[in-house]
Structure formats: C-alpha cells, structure tokens
Amino acid sequence: MAFKIEQCSVLQKHRLSYKPVLPKVLQKGPAGVVAVYGKATKSVADQAAVKKMFPNTYGMPQISFKAGTNKNITKKAVRVAVVLSGGQAPGGHNVIAGILDGLKKANSKNKLFGFIGGPSGILENKFIEITPKLMADYRNTGGFDMIQSGRTKIETAQQLATAKENILKNKIDALVIIGGDDSNTNAGIIAEYFKQQKIDTSVIGVPKTIDGDLKNEHIETSFGFDTATKIYSEMVGNICRDVNSARKYWHFIRLMGRSASHIALEVAFKTHPNIVLIGEEVLAKKMTLAQIVDNLAKVVVARAKDEKNFGVVLVPEGLIEFIPEMKALIAALNDLLAQNEKQINACKSFEEKKKFIISKLPANLAKLMASLPSNIAAQLMLERDPHGNVQVSLIETEKLLVEMLKTKLAELKKQGKYNGKFSAIMHFFGYEGRCGVPSAFDANYTYALGYNASVLALNKCSGYLSSVKNLVKKPQDWQCGGIPLTMMMNMERRNGKEKPVIKKALVELKGQPFKVLCAHREVWAKTESYVFPGPIQYYGPAEITDITTYTLRFEHLKK
C-alpha cells in the first residue's frame, strides 16, 4: 500500500479553519462604525520640512472608531487594491482576509484586487482579483505567497505618473499598502501625490515588520513581531538546552532586526541568555568595538573561573550601525557609494575598490576601515538596498566579535588573567522567522488591522495608517482607528539626500522593558537561568496560546 503525500499539513488544515476574533467596534461590519475625528496633528520632528513636502496631507486629525450607523458606505460598490511591500512578516494573508471580509460585509459587490510582486505590480499593472474562494486557501497561513512582495519604491515623477495611470485605468477607489516604515513612508508620498493630482483614490497603510520598530502610542506593535520572536525563541531555547548539556561551546546568535534591538530584547526575555547586546545602549554609551569586546571578555573570564567554558550571546543584526565609530563609517560609505558609483564599479578587484574608498574617507575613518577584517570590509561595501540602507543582514557581526574576542582572550591568557577554553559556534536567525504560521495573537491582530483598513478605505480616509491598540487586552476589547502617516515622519539622510521617512522606534533605555533586562542581566551572566519556551502554541490553555510579548506587557505596566 502506497502512502499518500499530503499537500497540506495537519496544522495548516486546522489553521485554515481558525476564526479570528474581531474587536467589538468592528463586529457589526463597516456600516456599524462611525469615525470620530480628533485634533490636528504634526510630525514627530522637522515639522516645517515635512509640512512643506506634504502640503495636502500634513496636519490631518487622528481618527477613532465607535459604534454607530454609517449606511452611506454600503450604497455604491467600490474597487480596492492591496499590495505587500518589503520583507515578509507572519500574518500578511490575514490582513488581506480582513480587508476582503470588511468590504464584502459592507456590500457584496465590492471587489478586492491584489497587485502582484509588491509595488512593482502597480507599475507593471499586474494584479489578480482576490475572491472569497481564493482567500479560503490562505487564511491564518504564513508567507506572502498569494500575491508576493517586493521592495520597489514609487517615488520618481515617472513612477508616480505610471501608478496614477494604472490606478485610474482600473478604477481603483482605494489602495492599501502593507509594509514597514519605509513602505508606509512611500504610502504617504503616494497619498500626497494623489491629493495633489486631485485623484479620488484613498491610500491606507498597514504596519508590518518583524523588527518591531514601527511603533508608537497608536501603533503598539507591528504585526509579525509576536510570531517571529516566538520562532526565534524556540531555536535559541533549543541552543540554550544544548549548551547546558554539552557545556563546551559559546554560541553567538545574530538575530534579525535591521535598525533596532527589539527582537533581541524580546528573545532574551523568553530564553534568558548569558549575554544580550542592545544596540541602543551601545550608542548611548558611545562604546567602541574594543569596549564591547572587553565587556564580553569579562563575562567569559568570570564564567571560566567557575569552570563554565560555555554560554549564549544574542547579537542584534543592526548592532554594527549603533557603534558610533562604525555608524560614522557607514554614513560616510553611504554617501561615497552614492556619489562615486561609476568609479567604484570600474574597480577590477575588491582591494582596488577598498583602496579607492579609503582614499576618499577622513583620516580617522580611513584608519578604521583599513583595520577591519577583509570579509567585514567587503560586506560594508556591498550595494545598498532600494532605500539607501546598508544591508546589515549580510554583515557577519557575530564573526567580527568572535575574532576580536579570541584575540582579547589570548592577550589575557598571556597575562595570566584567563585560563579557560574558548570555542565559538555562530548562527544567524533571520529568514526562518519571517513566514511562519501566525501565532494566535498575530492571526487576530492582522485580521483586525485589515478589517480596520477596509473601514478607513470605505470612509475615504487617505494618508492614514490602520491603528489597532489596547493590545494587552482581549481582542474584542481592542480599540480601532487611524493615524496620519505624516504624524510619524521626520527627515533623514538617504542616498546622500535629506528625505522624509517614518521615524524608527528604537529600544527606549528609560522604558520598562530595558529596565527589566538590566535587573536580570547580571544573574543571567553568572548562572544557567535558561528558559526553553518551545514552539508556538495554537491549542491549549489560554495562558499559553493567548500570551502576548513580554515587551508589550512590560510597556503597559506604566499605564
């Protein structure tokens, strides 16, 4: 008898039938929701510059939703389009499901379309209709595979004109952009352009990024962060169990998180490693690479004295950008690479390219660049991403730290201050967490964000980000509304030019989560306080399946 290979896992079959819980204010559908407009807003910084760039969408009021009667939105059928932008995050399909269900609840003739392959799908006019039948195969699943994603930015005059042409050609009444800070900045640019062109198409953003750095008072967390940190924590917990069993290796684990250390901090809460580096702390204390290595060495030496030549270290992916000397070097390299593209591309070898770049750097940065291991120097010179950022996921910071730590420990051994054994194993956990099946929290949160976005679209609220908050409560008690995209913006230097961007939310050193870490890190360094959280739980006691992140819980302690 031959065994049949299932096309769908047992877990996936169960997740497809899961019914997300909507906040009470949305449960009667878009026609049962009215918008309440608050006071005018302003950007988080650089108000004059941001206002000048967004004259038609700057200063719009915050919106909150409450129960009421709003039958006007049911009278005319509308056509809404959705696009996934940037890196993947667990729960993207549920955002789309929420949009679809909200639209169909308001009017069964409403239609939802998905642009294929990210924003480039808008420019290439590639799309499909997302029907209830198609959506049925993707509810509560991970990945972005239904319509895929991409990192194209729509910002040039030609791109904006093409987007306008295709939106009008397809009679799109609203465009929902699901993305992170850069993608939603782009959503703000498109919304402003459409207003300026007097196009009656609303543009709404949805906060997505596993990095956790798209957050504020009204966006308490970005979707995918909960699931991704649970996935990483399972793997880190497994390593903690292994290191406590073998007791002979130091594991250096770099965790995804391009510009902030939220993932490393949350995984630390879940697993209790011996050391967790926080980039924001490194920047605040103006620590050099040598000082970071000295601090690592102190813990390694102290544990060796107790015959513990093993441990676990968590390294945030973006650490290298927080080290002041490296931050200055990267900023200089960003400008150099943008301004000397032809000359650099003409270089025939890495050494020739490095020599050219060093010749253009200030003396102190040239010295630092020359001192770096060749592999790290090469990684720093790699092509920037479409937003002008260094591709930190390709920089092996953990290897740099290990190599420098080996040199430091050798020096200490010669001085008779260290007699332990140091063997290191290095890991990078990144893509493993981006497309996982969403946790119960993310399944509910993303569905609510999408449904909420449909209400914003039906109310023609353009230039807004879907906001669902009060997230430490049960889903039915979450609060819904929208906040202006310009409200979150400031000016930053990108590709050698000042540009408006949504300000990244970094780990707050005065915040409750970091204070909790500080209260525990000394004990974690000395002992084996490891926690093994295991895989994401979908079924079982609510205290396991419905638990939110430590970060959210600690942040709400002050409220």
Neighbouring CB atoms inside 10 A of 456's CB total: 29
Residue 559 has pLDDT above 60, yes or no: no
Q: Does the annotation count 306 as an active-site position? A: no
Q: What is the pLDDT of residue 123?
A: 98
Residues 352 and 157: their CA atoms lie apart, in Å, by 36
Residue 374 has pLDDT above 90, yes or no: no
Whole-number percent of the chain with pLDDT over 90: 80
Q: Residue 462 has what DSSP assignment?
A: T
Q: What is the pLDDT of residues 112-138, one digit of tens each?
A: 999 999 999 999 999 999 999 999 999
SS3 letters across 32-72 = HEEEEEEEECCCCCCHHHHHHHCCCCCCCEEEEEEECCCHH
Asked if residues 448 and 23 have their Cβ atoms less than 8 Å apart, the reply is yes
Q: What is the pLDDT of residues 272-310, one digit of tens each?
A: 999 999 999 999 999 999 999 999 999 999 999 999 999
Name which residue leads in pLDDT, 543 or 55: 55
Where does the pLDDT of residue 338 fall: very low under 50, low under 70, confident under 90, or very high at 90 and above? confident
Q: What is the pLDDT of residue 2?
A: 59
Q: Mean pLDDT for the chain?
A: 94
Q: Which domains does the chain have, with CATH numbers?
A: 26-224+438-494 (3.40.50.450), 225-434+510-558 (3.40.50.460)
What is the secondary structure of 129-167 as a DSSP string? E--HHHHTTTTT--SSTTT-EE-----SHHHHHHHHHHH
Pick the catalytic residue from 211, 213, 226, 442.
Answer: 211
Lowest mean pLDDT among 21-30, 221-230, 374-383, 396-405: 374-383
Residues 520 and 240: their CA atoms lie apart, in Å, by 17
Q: What is the pLDDT of residues 411-452, one digit of tens each?
A: 999 999 999 999 999 999 999 999 999 999 999 999 999 999
Q: What is the pLDDT of residues 381-402, one digit of tens each?
A: 877 766 566 776 778 899 999 9
Where does the pLDDT of residue 456 fall: very low under 50, low under 70, confident under 90, or very high at 90 and above? very high
Q: What is the pLDDT of residue 380?
A: 85
Residue 175 DSSP SS3: strand
Q: What is the pLDDT of residues 233-274, one digit of tens each?
A: 999 999 999 999 999 999 999 999 888 999 999 999 999 999
Q: What is the pLDDT of residue 389?
A: 66
Whose structure tokens read 């509308």?
A: 78
CB-neighbour burial class of residue 319 (10 A; exposed 0-12, middle 13-18, buried 19+):
buried
Residue 444 DSSP SS3: helix
Residues 22 and 32: their CA atoms lie apart, in Å, by 13
Q: What is the pLDDT of residue 336?
A: 86
Amino acid at 98: G
Residue 305 DSSP SS3: helix
Lowest mean pLDDT among 191-200, 340-349, 396-405, 545-554: 340-349
Q: What is the pLDDT of residues 193-247, one digit of tens each?
A: 999 999 999 999 999 999 999 999 899 999 999 999 999 999 999 999 999 999 9
pTM here? 0.92
Residues 308 and 65: their CA atoms lie apart, in Å, by 56
Q: What is the pLDDT of residue 233?
A: 98
Instruction: Give me the count of residues in the chain.
Output: 559
Q: What is the pLDDT of residue 83?
A: 98
Neighbouring CB atoms inside 10 A of 158's CB total: 10
Q: What is the pLDDT of residue 226?
A: 98
* Cα separations in angstroms, 88 against 115, 154, 180, 199, 448: 15, 19, 10, 30, 18
Average pLDDT over residues 84-104: 98
Where does the pLDDT of residue 106 fall: very low under 50, low under 70, confident under 90, or very high at 90 and above? very high
Lowest mean pLDDT among 31-35, 76-80, 101-105, 353-357: 353-357
